[in-house]
Chains A and B, each alone.
Chain A
Amino acid sequence: MQLALEGISKKVGPQQWLHEMSIAPRSGAVTVLLGATQAGKTSLMRIMAGLDVPLSGRVLVDGQNVVGVPVRQRNVAMVYQQFINYPSLKVWDNIASPLKLRGEKNIDQRVRELAEKLHIEMFLDRVPAELSGGQQQRVALARALAKGAPLMLLDEPLVNLDYKLREELRDELSALFAVGDSTVIYATTEPAEALMLGGYTAVMDAGELLQYGPTAEVFHKPKSLRVARAFSDPPMNLLAASAQSGGLCLDNGPALALNLPASASPRLTLGLRSSALRVNAGQGDAKLAGKVELVEISGSDTFVHVSTAAGELVAQLTGVHYFALGAAITLYFNAAQAYVFDAAGLLLASPQRGGGR
């Protein structure tokens, strides 16, 4: 199935919830809608599902305009943040319900297959209330998969689960989506989740669609400062700079040799991912001296917040590291790892990918 939205927009009262946008999510793959709360992700999904009618534009399913076709006449499966199941039905009946509606055969076998895929086969005889949150959401996911709909919409399905469960389910979901039976639209606020799911990503901000493309490509080549901000966790380090011959010079910081277009604006913004900053110097590195403000430890990574004359920075170091609050620290980075944005916020340069880094 090919879904395509053409020039759709949405207003609620005087407020523009969705600015005019067009998007054709890749058929048979997962498309992540990435953006902060209020970015317009849910509004867009409701239009895709047929729950809402756009103010303008067309929603095409395989070339047919379906605007105005009620949701029950469309073949769409949805999963929400809240775990929505039939409370009085056993898990088996919850998963079987879309199969029964379609009058399918071998229902028991299908239910067991799906339950096994989502690791809930041992709970088939229980009612949802007897399960943990993670298990209940698995039931909702199994039912959505049972529907076998060509379009599956998931609105932050893992947000109410604790991080270990999220990690597990995310892995399982990306494997299920990879089979390619349906077009999947998956909304999240977390950049890391988009990267783990892979596929394609549409970055949204304040009702605007900023960029759509293969997830890794959008991450590594954000079109604009706004995309880079939305698609980076921790936030991309941004430092003010001025263009000069052969590169740029950071305000209150070192000069960097960079290949920038001659037409670049005089004022620039340098962007550095936290993982590009190191505490050990490499050959040809630029350095920024500062003071440790906080050390956040996630287990796999340590995030060191540093204040420098050029601005506030966060460095991501693998593993557990300790630094005293207020201690002096020097951060190193290579200019080849830098993103550069012009005064209008458009990308001028990004790190070279693959080979020789």
Chain B
Amino acid sequence: MFLTLRGCCWPRRSGAGGAEMARIELDLAHAYRPDPKQDSDYALLPLKMTFEDGGAYALLGPSGCGKTTMLNIMSGLLAPSQGTVHFDGRDVTRASPQERNIAQVFQFPVIYDTMTVAENLAFPLRNRKVPQAQITKRVGEIAEILEMSGQLNQRAAGLAADEKQKISLGRGLVRPDVSAILFDEPLTVIDPHLKWQLRRKLKQIHHELKLTLIYVTHDQVEALTFADQVMVMTRGRAVQVGSAADLFERPSHTFVGHFIGSPGMNFLAGRVDQSGFHCADACLQIPLGRVLPAGELKIGVRPEYLVPASANTEGALPVVVSQMQDVGTHVMLSATFAGQTLKARLSSDAAQYAPGDTVWLKLMCEQTCFYKDEEIVP
């Protein structure tokens, strides 16, 4: 059950913005008890992961999945019960956050109310005795990116919650020499209509400053929008690392299929033998060129890819309509086959069906994935 995961290779961005970013390698596990015996004894199951220099990553999962534990291990707030953390090849497993040179941004603004915006932004640099000329220059740059140049001399106390959180972000970003910046659900306090503006800012910042950014969230939009590589976690396990397209098109685990997308991927359980995929009394041809292991198997196909077909079309099944909802921009068809529920997202001008109608849906298509014991069949 030892899991190996690797983010894809990042082009080296040497010297960009004067950053001294680090490549972070994890090879560890964290258990609740000294002698872990089963999976449930672990907050974080054994995993290997490399965060490349200058990459934008997200850790995504429901509450209790282990993502914050992982963040705390990276920042040095928590030592893993086994294994190591390396920054650029240097073992920092027992090093403090200061020694690791990590910047962190939390859910709620951490700023000094009595200081001005400029003083707040300058604080991390002043602490490190950076020369004044450099401080002024850097604070100016960060304020420019955050569109706060006009507010530099304003007291932080009078600002709205989202403005304060922007300062928090700025304080995280202001030091050009940090190994990585860790974000723990930083947009929680931000009003929905301002969220997209800040997401855009973060994206731009990553683009312009080439920093290694690691972002923890339970919100799929935030993770997929912000990160180039998203690690999906459930119950202490990292189940997939990939781009938004990877997670959507080829979820490597049924949990990812379910968790990404609204509604998530459809799964239909059945059995495979020489003649095809069997579910109840139906048999579907396995696409040419696909080799599938015999025995229990699940078909996975997203609601976006399920389309009605004429009767007896190859790869299609007759399903019984339970509901057809006009959800505004499209129509959601809910149906069952042999007691299993399937959803299809159809265009608004699709034919109307009534509950109880039989419709043929094409389940075997180019985008169909196959799962054995919840893992994708490659």
Contact = CB atoms under 8 A, between A and B. Distances in A.
Contacts of A167: 262-263
Given A162-B62, A299-B248, A318-B304, A216 B200 contact: no
A300 B349 contact: no
B248 A163 contact: no
B249 A163 contact: no
Interface string B212-250: 000000111100110000000000000000001101110
A325 B199 CA distance: 12
Interface in A140-173: 162-164, 167
B235 to A, nearest CB: 13
Interface in A280-295: 293-295
Contact of B261 (A273, A295, A300): A300
B349 A163 contact: no
A357 interface: yes
B260 A192 contact: no
A121 interface: no
A220 B348 CA distance: 11
A77 B199 CA distance: 40
Interface string B327-368: 111101000000000000100110000000000000000000
Contact of B200 (A198, A220, A299, A305): A305
A219 B328 CA distance: 7
A356 B348 CA distance: 11
A300 B262 contact: yes
Contact of A299 (B261, B326, B329, B332): B261
B6 interface: no
B13 interface: no
B349 A299 contact: no
Contacts of B302: 300
Contact of B244 (A163, A294, A320, A356): A320
B328 A191 contact: yes
Nearest to A196: B327
Contacts of B196: 294, 296, 305
Contacts of A269: none
Contacts of B325: 195-196, 198
Given A299-B247, A299-B260, A163 B220 contact: yes
Pick from A162, A294, A356 the residue with the most CB of B within 10 Å: A294
Interface in B295-316: 302-304
A212 to B, nearest CB: 17
Contacts of B330: 275
Interface residues of A, number: 36
B204 interface: yes
Interface in A200-235: 215-216, 219-220
Nearest to B197: A294
Interface string B252-279: 0000001111111000000000000000
A299 B328 contact: no
A355 B224 contact: no
Contacts of B326: 195, 198, 215-216, 219
Interface in B198-212: 199-200, 203-204, 207
Given A320-B249, A354-B349, A296 B199 contact: yes
B107 interface: no
B207 A295 contact: no
A31 to B, nearest CB: 17
B114 interface: no
A296 B62 contact: no
A275 B329 contact: yes
B102 to A, nearest CB: 26
Contacts of A299: 220-221, 224, 244, 247-248, 260-262
B260 A316 contact: no
Given A294-B200, A300-B261, A322 B245 contact: yes
Pick from A297, A319, A325 the residue with the most CB of B within 10 Å: A297
B220 A325 contact: no
A198 B324 CA distance: 10
Contacts of B221: 296-299
A355 B261 contact: no
Contacts of B349: 354-357
B136 interface: no
B153 interface: no
19 contacts: A162-B62, A215-B326, A216-B328, A294-B199, A295-B225, A296-B196, A297-B225, A298-B221, A298-B262, A299-B220, A299-B244, A300-B248, A316-B329, A318-B304, A320-B224, A325-B204, A353-B348, A354-B349, A357-B348
Interface of A: 162-164, 167, 191-192, 195-196, 198, 215-216, 219-220, 273-275, 293-300, 305, 316, 318-320, 322, 325, 353-357
Please give me the 9 A-B residue pairs with the lowest Cβ-Cβ distance, nearest first.
Answer: A275-B329, A297-B224, A294-B200, A299-B261, A216-B326, A299-B260, A195-B327, A357-B349, A320-B245
